[in-house]
Amino acid sequence: MSYFRPEIEAMAGYVPGEQPRTDDCIKLNTNENPYACSPAVVEAIRRAASDRLRRYPNPMAEPFRQRAAEVLGVEPDWILCGNGSDDILTIVTRALVGQGQLVRLPYPSYILYKTLAGLQGARSEEVYFEPDWSLHDVFASGRNDLRVVFLANPNSPSGTMIAPERVLEMAERLPCPLLVDEAYVDFAETDCMDLVARCERIMVSRTLSKSYALAGLRFGYVVAQPHLIEQLVKVKDSYNCDALSIAGATAAIGEQAWLAENRAKIVATRARLAQAMRKLGFKVVDSQANFVWATHGERPVSPIFERLKQARIFVRYMNYAGWGDGLRVSVGADEQIDRFLEELERIV
């Protein structure tokens, strides 16, 4: 007999994107930012690396909350910080969803939502995206046992977005909170942050992993109305953000000019990448994120993925059961994308 919960035993566990050990490769598989983070972040971390580390960090990451509140135009008590936005998603799920209850998510999307439901012993209902990557009204339908709805916006792997007015419309019809996961939103044209004040059911999560080039730092946050934050706090580990990541994140969120510049570079490369892949016969969805989603009408993409890998170019091959497969290619630096396109042309 096992010591573990049957839900755990039955799980395969989430497999993160491959992290090749050597530096002699082009890594376009986990949507990391290709550019170095702001020097202000490195400096802040180095300052925080001192004998102060013997002290516990601020339990609410207060310095970040203060600075982020100014940047986002909300009050600090609307913000809860986490050890990456995965920590935020975990906290939200544990706070809202009990055993046997229901979580709704779009499909295909970030696989973690389903894993988190499974960890709670909850069921999940996957609503397929329409062919144009919109969502049917059924995504907003009420059910008694529905406890939370997740929406990655922009979505992964598609890079597409549901417009804010549509998100609001759906949230207003839902009986439960809607977590809008804006991990990639800094690369998009619009966002749902303003909706949080208009509808208490909308919570918006963000991360510093992608647009601030700080995946290694593990820092994310959620913005929600204060009476929701108050409950979420109870679920988090007491000191869920460490002193170094708080220092780095606080510096990062203040670097809005750096962000704008970084974003502009990536958005420009994204357009070039999509266009070039289309020329090579791929169907590439218009992306609002730092990656593109590509399928091919005539040939299987899995061998293309393998050939790229042999050439030390890592992209993400995604195969969604009952839906289909494709390549998710992170927007790298210009020279990386040049190398990728060169190799791709050779292959196809």
Interacting residues with a copy of itself between 70 and 109 (CB under 8 A): 83-84, 86-87, 90, 94-99
Specify the residue, 52 or 278, whose C-beta has the smaller distance to a copy of itself.
Answer: 52
Q: Which of residues 3-22 bind a copy of itself (CB under 8 A)?
A: 3-5, 7-9, 11-14, 16-17, 19
Residues in region 145-164 near a copy of itself by CB under 8 A: 147
Q: How far is the CB of 47 from a copy of itself (least distance, A)?
A: 10
Q: What is d(CA 346, CA 294) in angstroms, rounded to the nearest whole number?
A: 17
Q: Say if residues 84 and 220 touch (Cβ distance below 8 Å).
A: yes
The beta-strand segments (E) located in the chain are 26-28, 79-82, 102-107, 123-128, 146-152, 178-181, 202-207, 220-223, 282-284, 291-296, 313-320, 324-330
Q: Could you say whether residue 346 binds a copy of itself (CB under 8 A)?
A: no
Query: What tokens does 127 get?
Result: 């609503």
Site for a copy of itself in 244-303 (CB under 8 A): 244-245, 248
Pair 56, 242: CB distance under 8 Å? no
Q: Could you tell me which stretch among 34-42, 152-160, 271-279, 282-290 binds a copy of itself (CB under 8 A)?
A: 34-42
Residues between 163 and 182 with contacts to a copy of itself, criterion CB under 8 A? 176-177
According to the binding rule CB under 8 A, does residue 24 interact with a copy of itself? no
CA dihedral 96, 107, 240, 220 (to 10 degrees): -120
Given the complex with a copy of itself, which of 57 and 154 has the nearer CB atom? 57
CA distance 323 to 334: 32
Nearer to a copy of itself, 280 or 333 (CB): 333
Position among 107, 121, 190, 296 found at the interface with a copy of itself (CB under 8 A): 121
Q: Mention every residue, 6+ apart, whose C-beta is less than 8 A from residue 12.
A: none
